[in-house]
Amino acid sequence: MTARAFWMWLIAIALVAIAVRAIYPAADPPWRTTVGVVWHDEGAWAHNARNKALFGTWREDEWNPIYIAPVYTGLEYLSFAAFGVGVRQARLVSELAGVGSVLLLALGVRRIGGNVAGVIAGGLLATNYVYVMYDRAAIMEALMVAFIVASWYCSVRAAERPRWGALAGVTAVLAFFTKAAAAFYIGALGSAAVMQVLPLEIVLPPKGGSSQTVGSADQQSARRAALWTLAGLAIASGVIAAVFVLPNWSEYRFYNWQISVTRKPSYDLKSIVDRVSWFPVLHDTFTRMWFVVSVGVIGAWGLLLRWRTTGMAERLLVLWLAVGTIELLVHDVGNERRLVFLIPALVGVTSLVLGRGAGLLPDEAARIPQRRAWLAAPLILYTAYVLVGPIARLPFLYVVKDSVRLAAALALALGTVVVSTWPRAMRLLSRGGWRVQAAAGLTAAIMAADLVQFLQWASIRTYKNYEASRAIGRALPDGTLVHGKLANGLALENRIKPVFVGHGFGNFEDRKRRDDVRYILTYIEPSPGYEGSQIEDILDAYPHRRIIMTFDVAETPSGHDRAALIDKRARD
């Protein structure tokens, strides 16, 4: 593929990426076939930015996600300040970030894998259904992942111009201060940089006889890139710590530790075993993109086997997947949104495999003695489990126990075959030689399947949440205090003042005695106080409440969800 053809294809891909992210901007996220986007989180995470844009102050109540996501909050405010407050404006940040991540991944893969690989990367990420739907939602995942992709792209550029490494470090820190879940990537980037600095020489595989060593100029350039990366991480972290974290330490620690870590997951052995077994079978994400998951995981093993001969950018892809997966297994796999940050890395590795026309694994794999394969059997078995799990779950969709059992049995069989037939199985996986047309046709088929899912959503799209928010604006005067999580979720198309009530945070402590807040917004279907027991507590504290209005909203796959505006002080 010529450079001119590459740019023509990239422009076409960019147009597709913009179209699927920008069309129907106020439509509800998928609810019949959900991808895990919780719609009422949009207003909750934009809360401080909305406060500043509408009322001139960041803080109006005790829910202040600015301390969790200052970068996201700042960009949301810029969008509101420029274009006004609304659902479309709130989603604009994620939409632009998503398109940017598509372009940066394509350009980065092109530099290390060639024009064809770059086009494949851009095409697969532009249309990936789950990724597109998170790019359409005003929540933090899209922006966080875009900064991670930007950091990886800068690492690619640093191979030629080491100072790009500083920007890689800065964007990684910005990802963390967009959402703390990006901590795994800072660990991955820092580890890759340290490993680049420590070796005294890089040994390349021999072509015909003895090994050869990279020249000192290349070594020094690689080390300078790594040092610039570490400097970027350190300086950006120090500046944000001095300007934002330390002056707000009490609030920062509360939101990022007590709420985000200690309050949610359990870390006992049973919980970790559950997460390890649930990882590939609990959600639809890996099933929807099974080919990319399979090629990406096996291709990552291939990069690992060629570790000493790969550059920092390819090592970083492996660490992105490995450290990110470990973080999920230790912390949480229960929410589908947590899997989103793996998608660009899987797409990147898949694109390198397809674009280079080589095997899934390098030739070195067949030269590994079988006894070493037996030593690595636990990792091989879990890899097999990740590969078969997304398919094995289909007969028992959302029945986790049966899915785990079938996937475990199939993975045991597959892993045993691979190890017992070593190295023949490795020679099969290292066999490449497919033509560019084959890779392009396969990529087109995957993109078409994703676009079909998008069109299915578009054909049944609804605007229930958007219309409910507008109806509340017509019913209540500007500045009206309204209790409940749904008050935030339904606040983007009006000027009410939400009073957020989380489970153990936000305005939780005084939830039963806020007589100054006359109204509460909550679900009545699928059940009253569906958001959580803290909302049920408020309803119980005001037995003489009265429903004023009800609204259709889109939350569960049933399609029959309703919210209610309730007067807490009404009398019979």
What is the per-residue pLDDT across 162-220, written as a single tens digit (0 to 9) for each? 999 999 999 999 999 999 999 999 999 999 999 988 864 443 444 444 333 444 667 78
Alpha carbons 252 and 258: distance in angstroms, whole number: 10
Helix axes 290-305, 436-459, angle to 10 degrees: 140
CB 337 within 8 A of CB 134: yes
Residue of 290, 292, 275, 301 lying closest to 389 (CA atoms): 290
Alpha carbons 438 and 436: distance in angstroms, whole number: 5
If you average pLDDT over residues 310-325, what whole number do you get? Answer: 95
C-alpha angle 144-145-147 in degrees, rounded to nearest 5: 70
If you average pLDDT over residues 61-70, what whole number do you get? Answer: 93
Peptide bond into 205 cis (omega under 30): no
H or E segment to which residue 12 belongs: helix 3-22
pLDDT given for residue 198 in this prediction: 83
The secondary structure of residue 521, as a DSSP letter, is E
pLDDT at residue 263 tops 70: no
Confidence band of 264 (pLDDT split at 50, 70, 90): low
pLDDT at residue 265 tops 80: no
Alpha carbons 531 and 528: distance in angstroms, whole number: 8
Alpha carbons 27 and 87: distance in angstroms, whole number: 9
Tokens 């990882």: give the residue: 279
C-alpha angle 11-15-21 in degrees, rounded to nearest 5: 140
pLDDT at residue 13 tops 70: yes
Confidence band of 558 (pLDDT split at 50, 70, 90): confident
Q: What is the pTM of this model?
A: 0.94
If you average pLDDT over residues 352-380, what whole number do you get? Answer: 88
Alpha carbons 485 and 500: distance in angstroms, whole number: 5
The secondary structure of residue 39, as a DSSP letter, is T
If you average pLDDT over residues 296-321, what whole number do you get? Answer: 93
Confidence band of 1 (pLDDT split at 50, 70, 90): confident
pLDDT given for residue 327 in this prediction: 94
Tokens 């199985």: give the residue: 425
Helix axes 87-113, 312-331, angle to 10 degrees: 130
**Tens-place pLDDT, residues 370-413:** 888 899 999 999 999 999 999 999 999 889 999 999 999 999 99
CB 95 within 8 A of CB 136: yes
pLDDT given for residue 216 in this prediction: 62
CB 69 within 8 A of CB 167: no
**Tens-place pLDDT, residues 90-121:** 999 999 999 999 999 999 999 999 999 999 99
HSE-CB of 536 using CA atoms within 13 angstroms: 7
Alpha carbons 29 and 462: distance in angstroms, whole number: 9
Peptide bond into 477 cis (omega under 30): no
Tokens 């007067």: give the residue: 567
Give first-to-last CA distance, the chain, whole Å.
75
pLDDT at residue 436 tops 90: no
pLDDT given for residue 192 in this prediction: 94
pLDDT at residue 25 tops 90: yes
Residue of 440, 303, 412 lying closest to 359 (CA atoms): 303
Average pLDDT, the chain: 92
Q: Quick one: tokens of 202?
A: 């890089």
pLDDT at residue 553 tops 50: yes
What letter represents residue 166's amino acid?
A
3-state SS string for 334-377? CCHHHHHHHHHHHHHHHHHHHHHCCCCCCHHHHHCCHHHHHHCH
Contacts of the segment 7-12: beta carbons below 8 A, 24+ positions apart: 9/119, 9/122, 9/123, 10/103, 10/106, 10/107, 10/118, 10/119, 10/122
What is the four-CA torsion angle of 494, 499, 504, 510, rounded to 10 degrees?
A: -160
pLDDT at residue 51 tops 70: yes
The three-class DSSP label of residue 543 is: coil
Q: How far is CA 316 from the centre of its chain?
A: 17
pLDDT given for residue 210 in this prediction: 38
H-helix segments, 366-435:
370-375, 377-392, 400-420, 424-429
Q: Quick one: tokens of 186?
A: 């800072």
CB 256 within 8 A of CB 68: yes
pLDDT given for residue 208 in this prediction: 43
Residue of 505, 508, 497 lying closest to 541 (CA atoms): 508
> Higher-confidence residue: 7 or 311?
7
If you average pLDDT over residues 26-40, what whole number do you get? Answer: 92
CB 118 within 8 A of CB 109: yes
Alpha carbons 99 and 82: distance in angstroms, whole number: 20
pLDDT given for residue 204 in this prediction: 42
**Tens-place pLDDT, residues 510-546:** 999 999 999 999 999 999 989 889 999 999 999 989 9
pLDDT given for residue 206 in this prediction: 46
Ranking 90-104, 159-173, 484-498, 545-559 by mean pLDDT, the lowest is 545-559
